[in-house]
Structures are given as structure tokens and as C-alpha cells.
């Protein structure tokens, strides 16, 4: 199918982009176009105009400021993958990004587009939850920040206003004892995951002092499995604690049935990932492996 007719606007500055969003309430922002253009072609979206922000230098760049990593919205997936700063300051993103689609899509798709799109099967929203990211937004009223746990509000829905632009994502750089884990199960490399898990935590004295387990492809949004994580806190992720956490996952997740997998299969796979990912995060188990 072909996209419906739309007007095309290319602002020269962020201020102009914000003004255009206000004067064109039915417009859509265009970043990498890797989700929006397929949606137009399938007529899932019919905006009056596309506002192309893809060349705004104000939305580019990766930096560390006062112990926080700041990734501007137009940072492409391929840049995340290649950045030594990301590899060092955000190992979870570095691990996850290689699972996002294929090189051609990673060369155009952006972190801002992925978070704003809020696909429940996408890797980056789950990483944002696990890392307790802060999402910086600009709108007619100025700047505001939204915690990742408040940002993803539903299926392809976020707390972004229709007149707002996602400007950047900020995360804390790793503290002492910080540990991360990422795995997903997909039919083929580059496919959206059937189930995936992004995890971040902290190990102190050989035990988990913090743990956030963010699952994706298991519901309308990425989901923090708080009951399962609670079973592992204060433990060294020994087999008995892992079994308790696996059982508790039934309280956290109620995955949908679809053509790829039944709800029961997804819950089973979520348990498989829990054991694999958490084990990979424990220093002593990594040494033994």
C-alpha cells in the first residue's frame, strides 16, 4: 500500500518545530521514519503533515554531565551500538541495541522515536524502565522530565502531549556493584522478540541489593516484574530463590495469546529468561560458568 497524502514540513530549529506542532495539531513528527512510514503505508496513521525533525542538531549527541548519561532524541540505533561511551556508561543499552531490527533499520531509527512509539515489543522502552531513565520533554510550556515508569501509559501510548517533543533520555552512570543483563527470544535474529528481559541491579557483599526486571513483548507496555524481583533481593540468586522468583512471575505477567505464542508459552519463556539473565548478573556465577 501507499501512504496517504500529507504535507511535509522541515523546521530549521527546535523552536520552529514546536511552533509547527502547535499550528498543525494533526501533524506527526518524523524522526528516523522506521515505524512511522510503515504505519502510513498501512494506513494505520493519516496525519495532515509530517514535521521532519531528523536534521535538528539540537536533538543530537551523547554526553555525560554530572554523573548522568544524556542521550539526545535523534541518536540513531547504530550510533548507540558503535559508541564507546554507551558501552562503558550504559552496558545494558549496548547489549540490547544489537537485538533491535537489522543494520539498515538501525542506521535510521532513533532512540527518541523508539521511546515515543512505545511498541510493547521494543527493546529500548524496557531498558529505560530497568535503568530508571528520565525522559526530557519540550513543549509550549517549556521543559519537563518524566520518569520512565510514568512515561509508557498503554499500547503505543505515552505521557507525551501531542504538542511536545521528546528531547533526550538521561540515566545514571553505573555505581559500584552495578550489574546488568539482557536476553530475548525471537524466531530469527532481528525479529521482534517473542519475550525479552532487560535487567539492572546492584550486588553488594555477593547478594542482590537492587533488582529491576523489565519484560517486553508480554503485554501492552514493557512491565517491571516487581514480585519476582522481591524474591531475589538479599539473595545470591541461588536455585531456591530463583525458583521462588519464577513462581512469583505469574503475579507480575499476564501475557497475551497471539499468532507467535500462547500466553502459557510466553510465561514459560519469561521464566527461562529470568533464570538465565539473573544468573548472568551474579559475579560468582559468571566465574563458575
Stretch touching ligand FAD by CB under 6 A, among 1-9, 87-95, 117-125, 225-233: 117-125
Cβ partners under 8 Å of residue 206, min gap 6:
236, 283, 284
- The answer to whether 59 touches 138, Cβ cutoff 8 Å, is no
Q: How far is the CB of 280 from ligand FAD (least distance, A)?
A: 21
**Choice from 28, 70, 212, 271 touching ligand FAD (CB under 6 A):** 28
Stretch touching ligand FAD by CB under 6 A, among 18-26, 82-90, 158-166, 238-246: 158-166
**DSSP letters of 176-224?**
TTEEEEEEEE-SSTTSPPSEEEEEEEEEETTEEEEEEEEEESSSSS-EE
Q: How far is the CB of 50 from ligand FAD (least distance, A)?
A: 8
Structure-block grid coordinates of residue 215: 519484560
Of the pair 75, 241, the CB lying nearest ligand FAD is at: 75
How many angstroms separate the CA atoms of 142 and 125, rounded?
A: 24
How many angstroms separate the CA atoms of 29 and 40, rounded?
A: 12
How many angstroms separate the CA atoms of 65 and 157, rounded?
A: 29
Is 9 a residue that touches ligand FAD (CB under 6 A)?
A: no
Q: How far is the CB of 102 from ligand FAD (least distance, A)?
A: 7
**Choice from 7, 38, 103, 140 touching ligand FAD (CB under 6 A):** 38
Which residues is 142 bridged to in the sheet? 139
- The answer to whether 48 touches 7, Cβ cutoff 8 Å, is yes
Residue linked to cell 544524556: 70
CA 7 to chain centre: 30
Is 71 a residue that touches ligand FAD (CB under 6 A)?
A: no
How many angstroms separate the CA atoms of 268 and 271, rounded?
A: 5
**Choice from 75, 81, 83, 114 touching ligand FAD (CB under 6 A):** 114
**Choice from 21, 62, 86, 100 touching ligand FAD (CB under 6 A):** 100
Of the pair 35, 241, the CB lying nearest ligand FAD is at: 35
How many angstroms separate the CA atoms of 124 and 288, rounded?
A: 30
Is 217 a residue that touches ligand FAD (CB under 6 A)?
A: no
Of the pair 124, 237, the CB lying nearest ligand FAD is at: 124
Q: How far is the CB of 122 from ligand FAD (least distance, A)?
A: 3
Is 151 a residue that touches ligand FAD (CB under 6 A)?
A: no
Query: What does the binding site for ligand FAD look like in residue numbers (CB under 6 A)?
Result: 28-36, 38, 73, 100-101, 105, 108-110, 112-114, 116-117, 119, 122-124, 160, 165-166, 192
Amino acid at each position: 500500500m501507499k501512504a496517504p497524502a500529507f504535507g511535509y514540513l522541515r523546521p530549521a530549529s527546535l523552536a520552529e518545530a514546536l511552533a509547527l506542532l502547535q499550528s498543525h495539531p494533526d501533524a506527526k513528527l518524523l524522526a528516523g521514519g522506521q515505524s512511522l512510514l510503515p504505519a502510513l503505508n498501512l494506513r494505520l496513521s493519516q496525519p495532515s503533515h509530517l514535521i521532519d525533525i531528523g536534521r535538528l542538531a539540537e536533538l543530537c549527541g551523547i554526553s555525560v554531565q554530572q554523573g548522568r548519561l544524556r542521550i539526545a532524541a535523534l541518536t540513531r540505533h547504530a550510533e548507540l551500538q558503535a559508541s564507546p561511551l554507551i558501552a562503558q556508561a550504559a552496558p545494558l543499552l549496548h547489549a540490547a541495541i544489537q537485538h533491535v531490527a537489522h543494520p539498515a533499520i538501525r542506521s535510521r531509527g532513533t532512540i527518541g522515536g523508539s521511546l515515543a512509539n512505545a511498541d510493547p515489543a521494543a527493546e529500548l522502552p524496557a531498558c529505560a524502565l530497568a535503568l530508571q531513565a528520565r525522559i526530557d520533554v519540550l513543549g509550549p510550556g517549556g521543559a519537563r522530565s518524566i520518569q520512565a515508569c510514568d512515561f509508557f501509559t498503554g499500547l503505543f501510548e505515552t505521557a507525551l502531549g501531542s504538542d511536545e517533543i521528546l528531547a533526550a533520555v538521561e540515566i545514571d552512570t553505573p555505581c559500584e556493584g552495578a550489574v546488568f543483563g539482557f536476553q530475548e527470544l525471537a524466531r530469527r535474529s532481528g525479529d521482534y522478540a517473542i519475550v525479552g528481559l532487560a535487567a539492572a541491579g546492584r550486588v553488594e557483599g555477593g547478594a542482590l541489593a537492587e533488582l529491576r526486571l523489565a519484560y517486553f513483548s508480554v503485554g501492552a507496555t514493557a512491565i517491571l516484574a516487581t514480585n519476582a524481583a522481591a524474591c531475589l533481593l538479599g539473595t545470591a540468586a541461588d536455585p531456591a530463590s530463583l525458583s521462588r522468583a519464577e513462581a512469583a512471575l505469574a503475579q507480575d505477567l499476564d501475557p497475551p495469546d497471539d499468532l507467535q505464542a500462547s500466553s502459557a508459552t510466553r510465561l514459560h519463556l519469561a521464566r527461562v529468561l529470568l533464570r538465565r539473565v539473573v544468573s548472568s548478573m551474579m559475579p560468582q556465577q559468571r566465574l563458575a560458568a
